[in-house]
Structures are given as structure tokens and as C-alpha cells.
A = this chain, B = another copy of it.
Amino acid sequence: MSTHRFAVNVTPKPGILDPQGRAVEGSLGHLGIEGVSAVRVGRRVELTVDAADEAAARRVVERLAGELLANPLIEAYTIESIAGASSTTAVGAA
């Protein structure tokens, strides 16, 4: 078994209304920030998976992303392997 940490980045698909992104853009003037555009607000889910190997762990994350974390009609997702993963070769311990 090995332990892997992933991030799932979920963003609204192009063309889908993004009211949070518009709200951020509307606040830029108050902060005196210029030159920022095309703001899209999505979710980032970080999680740890114990599986036989990295490929098996990634399959679990794929399923989770498609069935629970993102709405495939209106959202796109990418899966990213992040640091903090460790391969644990069990030595006797349960």
C-alpha cells in the first residue's frame, strides 16, 4: 500500500456564468487594483488516498471527482499530484 496526496481543481466551464468571478472583478476598483481580468472562481479539494499504487489511487480520485466533487454539466476538473505523499512499505504493522 502507498499513500498519495492529490488536489482536484474544479472550475466553471467556459461560457458558464460565474457570479463569484464577477463579484471579485467588481471589487477590484475599490481596492485600486488594475489590469486584472477573466476571473474564474472554482473549488480546490485536497485529499489523501491509500491504494496499492499511484495508478490505483488516481483511479479513485477520478471517480470521486466525476461523481461527487464536480458537476460535469457545468464544471471541468483537473487532478494534480501534490507533495506530502509517501510510499509506505508495510513492515509488520497492521
Stoichiometry, as copies per complex, reads 2
Complex Cα gap A47–B38 (Å): 5
Contact A45 B37 (CB under 8 A): no
Q: What 1/0 flags go to A56-79 for Cβ under 8 Å of B? A: 010010011001110000000000
Given contacts A42-B44, A44-B9, A46-B42, contact A36 B24 (CB under 8 A): no
Complex Cα gap A60–B50 (Å): 39
> For chain A, what secondary structure do more than half of its interface residues adopt (helix, strand, loop), or is it mixed?
strand
Given contacts A31-B64, A60-B35, contact A45 B40 (CB under 8 A): yes
A to B CB contacts below 8 Å, 15 in the list: A10-B44, A11-B44, A24-B45, A24-B47, A31-B63, A31-B64, A33-B60, A36-B64, A37-B47, A37-B50, A39-B47, A40-B45, A40-B47, A41-B44, A41-B45
